[in-house]
Amino acid sequence: MIKKILIANRGEIAVRIVRACAEMGIRSVAIYSEADRHALHVKRADEAHSIGEDPLAGYLNPRALVNLAVETGCDALHPGYGFLSENAELAEICAERGIKFIGPSAEVIRRMGDKTEARRSMMAAGVPCTPGTEGNVADLAEALREAERIGYPVMLKATSGGGGRGIRRCNSRDELEQAFPRVISEATKAFGSAEVFLEKCIVNPKHIEAQILADSFGNTVHLFERDCSIQRRNQKLIEIAPSPQLTPEQRAYIGDLAVRAAKAVGYENAGTVEFLLADGEVYFMEMNTRVQVEHTITEEITGIDIVREQIRIASGLELSVKQEDIIHRGFALQFRINAEDPKNNFLPSFGKITRYYAPGGPGVRTDTAIYTGYTIPPYYDSMCLKLIVWALTWEEALDRGLRALDDMRVQGVRTTAPYYQEILRNPEFRSGQFNTSFVESHPELTQYSIKRNPSHLAIAIATAIAAHAGL
């Protein structure tokens, strides 16, 4: 078994990995920039080491991170999500230095990170893909020709893109002409590559993804699906497991497709295969070669600790479960509580947390790295915590979500919590029939009023007194 892990990440995912290590008797090593010196993952890990003054450079230097893993006596490195989690070079350097990379091989990361290569691999495996270009487009002229062949609207995508960046919907020739240089620029800055391709835009689809686990013994399983249709500008806001929109037959079909996709590329460790569902047709979109932000809800409905399984797989052990043993029970929702102001076009709201109270009770979980007195730095993603709720039925899960969001207190910054309460009250959402157009189709949901009650006022006064007293 692995004895000591360097966590090449920060924030709530680093805290999540620290917890898994503690339960497995594995020592954890955290890293931090100067901006993260007082972060919770630093306080919770067995060791913590500075990676420099710059808020980003240290987290993005693969060789320096592996060197630190070697220097601190680690035998493995967990990349979390974001930063270098899908960086083939990091996996390669780990292999060179004898450090186990808790993820798939560099070859698989590179192959699935190149979206045109991923499409080719999936088509060869018989996994349905959206119509699009065979490979990258060389220039705007070729893009315009291919768009005419595919038919508008089209999606212009960065080949190495991810996280909602490097992607534009183009409804016409004029829009494609305007978007092309912007996507090239964004892709070059964000991913170091100017390569782009085109896909047919599937209008108002459902965004469904399947969680898979695969070990080095040829065992591959799926842990059912998550519905990620509630998103804004290709950024997920609320995730649901399992999808309330699928039939049992669709669920089984998508799970089988995900396993086929993973086996086709020789996948090992945890991964996610993302699909679009429209008019009864399923299309492969991409594969994420890492643990997902929303892995939590899959854990809630299956009882399987995905991070633990990641570490076991990297240790050379077989999966602890077989497909026939995996069942799902109830419904789980995850709310990405972002430090943003929905009433002001989701403007980031970084600053000091003057009061934080985590909700509790049956079926409620919070994954976070914030605490009262913590200052959210402006250099990273705006997500400050993940609120997860579980219940036996869809209606109970919605009601539990409303109660947990109301219980939670995050003061000092504005968050998306009250906006999510509006979504949970919306009849269309409660019906379980929605797609990726939901957020843009309901702009009125941002026009909520924040209700104050005496207990809220008392908390606010106590917070102001404590701040004035320097407590």
pLDDT at residue 432, rounded to an integer:
96
The tokens describing 29, both together, are 């090593």
Q: Are the beta carbons of 308 and 23 closer than 8 angstroms?
A: yes
Dump strand ranges (E) for 406-456.
Answer: 409-411
Mean pLDDT (the chain, rounded): 94
* Nearest-angstrom CA–CA distance, 129 and 332: 28
* Nearest-angstrom CA–CA distance, 273 and 113: 12
Note if 145 is an active site residue.
no
Identical fold at 4-102 and 131-200?
no
pLDDT one-digit tens code per residue, 356-395 = 999 999 999 999 999 999 999 999 999 999 999 999 999 9
Dump strand ranges (E) for 289-404.
Answer: 331-338, 340-341, 347-348, 351-352, 355-357, 364-368, 375-376, 383-391
Q: Are strands 351-352 and 364-368 parallel, antiparallel or unpaired?
A: unpaired
| Residue range 173-195: mean pLDDT, rounded | 92
Q: Band of the pLDDT at 454, cuts 50, 70, 90?
A: very low
pLDDT one-digit tens code per residue, 199-212 = 999 999 999 999 99
Between 255-259, 408-412, 460-464, the lowest mean confidence (pLDDT) is in 460-464
Q: Are the beta carbons of 111 and 265 closer than 8 angstroms?
A: yes
pLDDT one-digit tens code per residue, 312-327 = 999 999 999 999 999 9
Indicate which residue of 10, 290, 400, 414 is catalytic: 290
pLDDT one-digit tens code per residue, 120-130 = 999 999 999 99
pLDDT at residue 193, rounded to an integer:
86
3-state secondary structure of 148: helix
* Nearest-angstrom CA–CA distance, 281 and 286: 16
Q: List, in order, residues 6 or more apart from 134 with CB less than 8 Å away.
A: 116
Dump strand ranges (E) for 104-234.
Answer: 154-162, 165-170, 196-200, 206-214, 220-232
Residue 84: pLDDT over 60: yes
* Nearest-angstrom CA–CA distance, 133 and 147: 9
Residue 470: pLDDT over 70: no
Residue 3: pLDDT over 70: yes
CATH for 206-446 is 3.30.470.20
Q: Where are the domains of the chain?
A: 4-102, 131-200, 206-446
Residue 45: pLDDT over 60: yes
pLDDT at residue 160, rounded to an integer:
81
* Nearest-angstrom CA–CA distance, 39 and 9: 12
* Nearest-angstrom CA–CA distance, 160 and 255: 25
| Residue 408: Cβ-neighbour burial (10 angstroms; 0-12, 13-18, 19+) | buried
Cis check for the bond before 418: say yes or no (omega within 30 of 0).
no
Residue 302: pLDDT over 80: yes
Q: Of 3.40.50.150, 3.40.390.10, 3.20.20.30, 3.40.50.20, which CATH number belongs to 4-102?
A: 3.40.50.20
Residue 449: pLDDT over 90: no
Q: List, in order, residues 6 or more apart from 9 with CB less than 8 Å away.
A: 17, 31, 59, 78, 79, 80, 81, 82, 83, 85
What's the angle, vertex CA 133, arms to CA 129 and CA 136, rounded to 5?
Answer: 120
Residue 338: pLDDT over 90: yes
Q: Of 3.30.1490.20, 2.40.50.140, 3.60.15.10, 3.40.50.300, which CATH number belongs to 131-200?
A: 3.30.1490.20
R_g of the chain computed on alpha carbons: 22
Q: What's the pTM value of the predicted model, to 2 decimals?
A: 0.91
* Nearest-angstrom CA–CA distance, 40 and 463: 21
Question: What percent of the chain clears pLDDT 90, i.e. is strictly above it?
Answer: 89
pLDDT at residue 166, rounded to an integer:
87
Closest by alpha carbon to 122, among 265, 280, 253, 281? 265
* Nearest-angstrom CA–CA distance, 202 and 208: 13
